[in-house]
Chain A
């Protein structure tokens, strides 16, 4: 057994007790803060740009030639035109979601025997923005943008639809697709972003 010696909390010294030293210390700090610049943003007039990996409102990347190889495999089974959402209705996002009821995904078979996504609704009132759906997406279609103003006057206004999700992704990619990610992909990229790190 380790012998434990219990010691008392140090009390105030006489100097501290007589001159209220703690009061003076605290008041010095508030005075210093008073003279500092404010750290706030004037929100409706100024808006902070979130980092690229910010988990904001969802969006659908469109078919634009930058698809991952997995999409190339599925492409011939799908009826997707250039500039449309590249969703393949695999339901992986719904499977990954902790609240799967918020997805309403429907797809139909066209007369040519191809698959066409007709509906992809997300009720963001139930969404907790965990980002599991975007990680599950096999074709890099469902992403999260940096848009964080989701308020609406009606509940119906908070439901995302297929076409406006595609539009939002086009907007997001045009603004931030080329921005380097804060997280590196490989060692070369890391040293470019963060400099050479010496591992001990």
Chain B
């Protein structure tokens, strides 16, 4: 099997080209995922770019992104495959006289009558794909078992048809917001990647690449303030996407250098709880 990436460095630079700044950990795990042909389980606080990672990798590889959004009550027929019941009915009714029972029986459980859902689609696809299983912690523990076969063997077993093997091994990303403990079976099959808030340098870089028309000076100041805010004991620390929103706002307002007054007025973009805003304003002594 040919590998997608030659080295960790290439992953890193490639992701940078599509405006995703990976640190050593992220790039290393993506590289390993390809080498070991294993899915990656991405966990971390909301808004740190977990989903974006999968999108960016797809972008970088020029692969198609197939996304399965998980929710409570997700089942086989929505995740894996479903028989096209109406089409089967039509087939039976269309030529009642000519076919023998055997023919019809074999025929209506053929691939023509199979509706592929994201997981099956990902492994039957001819061209390269990246499969994103988003917020996997939202499905029930029992439903997790649906994923196990595809994650470890890259195959799907359909009782009427047999086992469908992957034509190529897709890169798989699972994201989790950690609202519940995932089962050991699932964790064991995956590489684990914890994406945390970036350090100051990286956050500054991210702001610089994601926000147009921002000055280096302003980005630096933004990153510093956000770092200070994250050190406080808050209900919800500002995420990367909120930092970017804040930066965009400041650029739109035409602010070059943040003064206490402006920081106070725009703080609500960064923080979403009134108590948090009050606390941050007090701690950063921008409240007069």
- Bound pair: A and B? no
Residue numbers of B with Cβ under 8 A of A are: none
